[in-house]
Structure 1
Amino acid sequence: MATGTVKWFNSEKGFGFIAQDGGGADVFAHYSSIVSNGGYRELVEGQKVSFDVVQGQKGLQAENIVTA
């Protein structure tokens, strides 16, 4: 599982990007991939997260996003 920091996230549109720890390409983050405990699924700029990286249709994509 990879780790990183939320670069930005638009709560209205439900997506943003995560900067991977250790460098590499930024990873697309969609609200549907955030593991939630029943609350509102959103990320905040600067928040530390862990996630699985998969190859999406338009590039790297985060799945199973868990906030630290």
Structure 2
Amino acid sequence: MGRSQETFNKKEREKKRQKKAKEKMERREERKDQAVKGTLDNMMAYVDEFGNITDTPPDPEKKPKKIKAENIEIGIPKREEEEEVVRTGKIDFFNTSKGFGFIIESGTGDKYFFHVNGLIDAVDEGDKVTYDLEKGMKGMNAVNVKLVE
């Protein structure tokens, strides 16, 4: 007797091919069923009075009152003017050749950097000054430095 021409590998490949074809057919049938179920009514979503998404339509009795368009303000509300704090301090260090120095704030003892470009009056070490603060690259810097008489 002759041996069968089908080897184990051929049988396994055929089984895999048939299994794939069966799975493909099942997926096709499942998509057809979903297409029938996926009508527009099933896909609708509603937003309730609290802003949550639901699948039930809103109750007409809970409908919010009408808002007139002219009552809606668009923009940023005006802020009240903030009182500008006058900061005072004493010049702790000042290098005239390099054009920078440090001010120690009265009361808190915080140190702030200042540059010659931020000076309004000529100052020296130990002078009492008033100044404003602004954000710099490495922290807060003193600007508009004025000498206190």
Normalised TM-score (structure 2): 0.40
Equivalent residue number for residue 82 of structure 2: none
Q: Distance in 2 between matches of 1:53 and 1:2?
A: 8
Q: Distance in 1 between matches of 2:109 and 2:134?
A: 14
- Larger-Rg structure: 2
Contact residue 26 and residue 60 of structure 1 kept, 8 A? no
Structure 2 residue identity aligned to 1:13 = K
Equivalent residue number for residue 128 of structure 2: 48
Q: Distance in 2 between matches of 1:66 and 1:33?
A: 9
Residue 34 (1) aligns with residue 84 (2):
no
Q: Distance in 1 between matches of 2:109 and 2:147?
A: 20
**Which runs of 5 or more residues in structure 1 are unaligned?**
none
Higher helix share: 2
Q: Distance in 1 between matches of 2:143 and 2:129?
A: 11
Moved over 6 A (4+): none
Q: Distance in 2 between matches of 1:65 and 1:19?
A: 12
Q: Distance in 1 between matches of 2:133 and 2:106?
A: 12
Normalised TM-score (structure 1): 0.84
Q: What is the CA RMSD across the aligned residues, in angstroms?
A: 1.2
Aligned length: 63
Residue 4 (1) aligns with residue 89 (2):
yes
What is the SS of the residue equivalent to 1:22? coil
User: Identity rate of aligned residues, in percent?
Assistant: 38
Q: Quote how far apart the aligned CAs of 1:25 are.
A: 2.4
Contact residue 51 and residue 63 of structure 1 kept, 8 A? yes
